[in-house]
Chains A and B, each alone.
Chain A
Amino acid sequence: MDGLRRARAMALKEVMHILRDRQVLVFALGMPVLLLLLFGYAVSFDVEHIPLAVIDQDHTPQSRELRAAFVSGDTFVPVVETSDAEAVEPLFRRNVARIALVIPHGYGRALGRGETAEVQLLADGSDNTTASVALGYANALALSVNQRSLATILGTAEPPLSVRVRTLFNPGLESAIFLVPGLMVLILVIIAVMLTALTIAREYERGSMEQLFSTPVGRLSIILGKLGPYFVLGLVQVLLTLTLGVALFGVPVNGSVLLLFAVAAVFLLAMLMQGLLISVVARNQMLASQLALLSTVLPALLLSGFIFPIENMPPLLQGIANVLPPMHFVRALRAILLRGNGIAVIWPDVLALAAFFVVLLTLATRRFRRTLA
């Protein structure tokens, strides 16, 4: 009981620190909003409005039809119309166009005769993402034009093979819906690890840890009291991120909200332990913040599947990603939010999170000694 009372005093003191230090609150509550708006609106992996140069040397109804097919959607915006093939490279250099459609002389005639008609598509490879998306889109367009021509030639209304793609769980393939779970991970790792690492390192740095250790307060009470407020703050952020994600970007909540919070709680505990371990090893705020940033943001951004698919990584990185919590949490979140999965599906990820928590708890409490030297 004494231990609990002391833990409560520690926690109340921590809340006072948090309330006194406006920066912490601004950081903790402002960052989720900022990141969500940034990633939700500004950063988009949906490639649209690519500036297109159309070099039509054919000037036939067929060539105009192809051009119309390219610019009918939102993907390409025609910025230059010319018949001079030499003009393409300067346009790329000046960043006026990223992609160029060259319809050579004789395209319409070849189509009319049933011969293979050639068009050329030039892409600016310096912007990798745009180029690959644009080329994929162009290929799809060419395929559909081909199919229609074939149908005309074969005299059938339907092409022999038709692939209908229907995307489940995120039909518009909108990146915001896909990103929100990843963002939640990014936000939580930064808050949970960074803030706890700093607050405990601060006690060492300012000498108050020496005073704490000279009182009968136990290590467990210190840990519970120091980390408790940040645990609550983390859950508040889950709520905030989720609410914003639903309200602004229409992120679906197909699964159980309770389960989502339960998984988030396990993830938070693991992250708090990581913060504790960093601070008891570093014992000063400068080093602690560096270690916290390195050990959280990198895995959360690169090894979580948030942006880059884990499956395409070399086996070593895949192994690391499997050990660290971010990937498991992103997977569990996407499963709950988008697919509406229950614990029956996501338990391996929850287990991995729990295992990480137990290992770090053991390491941190072993390093957290009640002595100064």
Chain B
Amino acid sequence: MVTQIEPYVMLSIVLFVLGVMGVLLRRNAILIFMSIELMLNAANLSLVAFASYWGQTSGQIFVFFVIAVAAAEVAVGLAMIVAIFRTRQSINVDDLHQMEG
């Protein structure tokens, strides 16, 4: 008995594209960060779907690691956003241009 995974992969693609659109279209740093989380979740969904398809645990372990890395990333990223907001009073990514060449 094999799990049918095409619908899950389709949903994962749609969510990933929505996340990419969020990163490209929004200018608010927190919303960009949330879109990155959405992309991570879409990738997790396809990992679990393929793990279920092959009947293997490895995919689920990778999802576990992705969740742990996402937690670390969110903690550091939000701390950076707060630090930037305190110095510049804005988290609009268009305002952050002191590193441009």
**A and B bound?**
no
Q: Which residues of A contact B (CB under 8 A)?
A: none
